[in-house]
Structure 1
Amino acid sequence: MRDEVDFGTAIAAESLALPCATVLVLAAGGFLRKEIVAEPLHELRSAYNLPPDPELAMLDRHLVLSPFPPSFRNPRFPLPARAFSFRQTAASPADTTPRTPTVYFTLGTVNNTTDLFSRVLAGLWELPVNVVATVGERVNPAELGPLPDHVRVEQFVPQELLLPQCDLVVSHGGSGSLMGALAHGLPSVLIPLGADQPYNAQRCVELGIAQVLDPVTVTSEEVRTTVSAVLADGAYRRAAERVREEITALPGAEQTIPLLEGLHGSTPQRS
């Protein structure tokens, strides 16, 4: 079993005549395209004396597991024919009890900078909302300076505990963070930083789930007005809730086990 950007495992499996299941990690698709990786993979296959594979069937010949709702996949990059969509965890609605809105802010665990965090937080703390932000282990929350009482910054908070209490998520649009928000029917304001995040952000705009800001030029005022607009417009929440309902209807992860067991003993077809 491999994730979709782990090419070495696919080469090793084919060299040993073993079936290889693939787990998708790029929610919207588009970031990884066969025409982009074809040349280096053809060279690698040749180095390991594997036969030509002009269509790169090696990448999705066997079972493909997708932990994302099918409607989120960009139709320009359709799921492989052997894809099986499932839900990672149980989806649940957010708490709708009347209260002060809560916004969760995260930029993931890799590309965190105090400059961008400071700009975004300065916009969020001007709003009549509670703010919870996580900065990852590479950033000391103290570097952000004194913050208002309604803003809490931690290095890490379990999202499954926090998201049910939230009304909106401000994030980089990574596939994990985004699916966590959608599993609770939460709209987003996205600040994509790289990798698959721009593709996810574009798909969110197409589905009416989010608005998108530029991480290079975004100002505190833009953060404030954009978050206010998304919180005030119920269409974003309703669009996110439709995706949550789709996630809820997907089979659970346990239903992938018989499919994986079914690969045992099968012999991969050579290209």
Structure 2
Amino acid sequence: MRILFTFIGGLGHFRPLIPIARAAQAAGHTVAVAGTGKRTQEITAAGFTAFPTSGPPQPTSPSERAPMEAPDPEADLRQLAEGFAGRGARRHAAAITEIARSWRPDVVVRDEVDFGSAIAAELLGLPCATVIVLAAGGFLRPEVVAASLREVRSEVGLPPDPEMTMLSRGPILAPFPQSFRDPQFPLPPDTFSYRSAVVPAPGPPREKPTVYVTFGTVNTAIEPFGPVLGGLATLPVDVVATVGNSIEPAELGPVRDGVRIEQFIPQDEVLPHCDLVISHAGSGSVIGGLTHGLPSVLLPMGADQPYNARRCADLGVAQVLDPMTATADEVRAAASTVLADARYREAAAEIRDEISALPLPDETIPLLEALV
């Protein structure tokens, strides 16, 4: 069987596809990945044939880096509707249709905001599965994207879809337990939840806690690192911080002993050795931390991040700070509280245990095979 995995956007949309794609390869299926040309290097480095759906990335310098802007939920929803469900869906509907006619996949597996691939699959009569990449829910709602998708569907000759069934057509695969989902925005009842990897049992408590700091790996804002590293500077903790490919670690200035700053470290290599995560509340960072039973301090900056942060707070696994106003003192207080109050770790451990009980990615493959 030939399976075409597709995503639109950054690495947070690609990485959830990787465990299933590798499981498909291990089962003897032929796999390719289609995504933005900015991510071709990461696709091939992960071991997959890459089909770029846009041009290569353009280099940027620190002087060209845009300053961090205050969270604007309405602007984020407009970007989802006009960018992902409008321009992006139009681009991917054309690109994936062309790729599929040439490469001839049997099944398409898309990230949930890659609407254009769902349209292309429907147009070509191909079965399509969806991988959930917005963990808490709430950001992607049918009423937000309906008008834009109606236009794109009409342009390619597909009939109206007033119930927006295209969003949940085919298997829905979620790399997290459904208990994490905000109950106001439930997933379909037949959603298949799985865990992305085997996680080793937690080791004995460390004498000195380690804090992992990440605000994403692409177009990372530099501003939050100042108060976060400043707040951690006087705590008796070690720190591992990843700053992304647009920031040089030296830009953050000198740091004390016990602080390591890198552009990128795979989080699966870091998290088993940590006690606390400080992040932007991206779905991958939050679920990655909870997979290891780690509580968080969260500074959500946009898109689905505020929804994830609220859900984490509701579940008792995180404290949430404002990324625009948080001071070093506030970061220090929040980190100290989450590390000292056992209730945060106990709540995170409950979710870790739920995740550990989920099936592995190889159990998603029969669902894909059944589509053909």
TM range (shorter): over 0.9
Report the 3-state secondary structure (helix = DSSP H, G, I; strand = E; otherwise coil) of the residue aligned with 1:231.
helix
1:37-48 paired onto structure 2 within 5 Å: 37-48=145-156
Say if 2:339 is the partner of 1:243. Answer: no
Q: Is the CA contact 1:111–1:193 (under 8 Å) kept in the aligned structure 2? A: no
Range 94-103 or range 62-71, more displaced: 94-103
Say if 2:133 is the partner of 1:25. Answer: yes
Deviation at 1:16, TM superposition (A): 1.2
Query: Using the alignment, how far apart are the partners of 1:145 and 1:3 within structure 2?
Result: 37
Report the 3-state secondary structure (helix = DSSP H, G, I; strand = E; otherwise coil) of the residue aligned with 2:173.
strand
2:321 is matched with 213
1:98-137 paired onto structure 2 within 5 Å: 98-137=206-245
1:269 is matched with none
Query: Using the alignment, how far apart are the partners of 1:158 and 1:3 within structure 2?
Result: 21
Q: Is the CA contact 1:93–1:164 (under 8 Å) kept in the aligned structure 2? A: no
Q: Is the CA contact 2:279–2:298 (under 8 Å) kept in the aligned structure 1? A: yes
Deviation at 1:97, TM superposition (A): 3.2
2:302 is matched with 194
Query: Using the alignment, how far apart are the partners of 1:200 and 1:110 within structure 2?
Result: 19
Could you report, residue by residue, the CA deviation over 1:209-258 in whole angstroms, capped at 9, with x for unpaired residues? 00000000000000001100010100000000000000011111000000
1:268 is matched with none
Deviation at 1:96, TM superposition (A): 2.8
Q: Is the CA contact 2:297–2:335 (under 8 Å) kept in the aligned structure 1? A: yes
Report the 3-state secondary structure (helix = DSSP H, G, I; strand = E; otherwise coil) of the residue aligned with 1:131.
strand
Query: Using the alignment, how far apart are the partners of 1:173 and 1:92 within structure 2?
Result: 23
Q: Is the CA contact 1:107–1:172 (under 8 Å) kept in the aligned structure 2? A: yes
Distance 1:44 1:107, change over 3 A: same
1:146 is matched with 254
> Structure 1: which 5+ residue stretches go unaligned?
265-271
Q: Over aligned residues, Cα RMSD in angstroms?
A: 1.1
2:3 is matched with none
> Structure 2: which 5+ residue stretches go unaligned?
1-108
2:52 is matched with none
Deviation at 1:154, TM superposition (A): 1.0
Q: Which of these residues, 18, 23, 35, is aligned with residue 143 of structure 2?
A: 35
Q: Is the CA contact 2:247–2:263 (under 8 Å) kept in the aligned structure 1? A: yes
Deviation at 1:111, TM superposition (A): 4.5
Query: Using the alignment, how far apart are the partners of 2:260 and 2:141 within structure 1?
Result: 40
Query: Using the alignment, how far apart are the partners of 2:141 and 2:336 within structure 1?
Result: 36
- Runs (4 or more) in structure 1 with deviation over 2 Å come to 91-98, 110-115
Query: Using the alignment, how far apart are the partners of 2:298 and 2:256 within structure 1?
Result: 23
Identity of paired residues, percent?
Answer: 62
1:78 is matched with 186
Query: Using the alignment, how far apart are the partners of 2:201 and 2:210 within structure 1?
Result: 15
Report the 3-state secondary structure (helix = DSSP H, G, I; strand = E; otherwise coil) of the residue aligned with 1:263.
coil
TM-score by length of 1: 0.94
1:6 is matched with 114
Deviation at 1:93, TM superposition (A): 4.1
Report the 3-state secondary structure (helix = DSSP H, G, I; strand = E; otherwise coil) of the residue aligned with 2:366.
helix
Opposite residue 297 of structure 2, the aligned amino acid is V
Report the 3-state secondary structure (helix = DSSP H, G, I; strand = E; otherwise coil) of the residue aligned with 1:122.
helix
Distance 1:17 1:81, change over 3 A: farther
Paired residue total = 264
TM-score by length of 2: 0.69
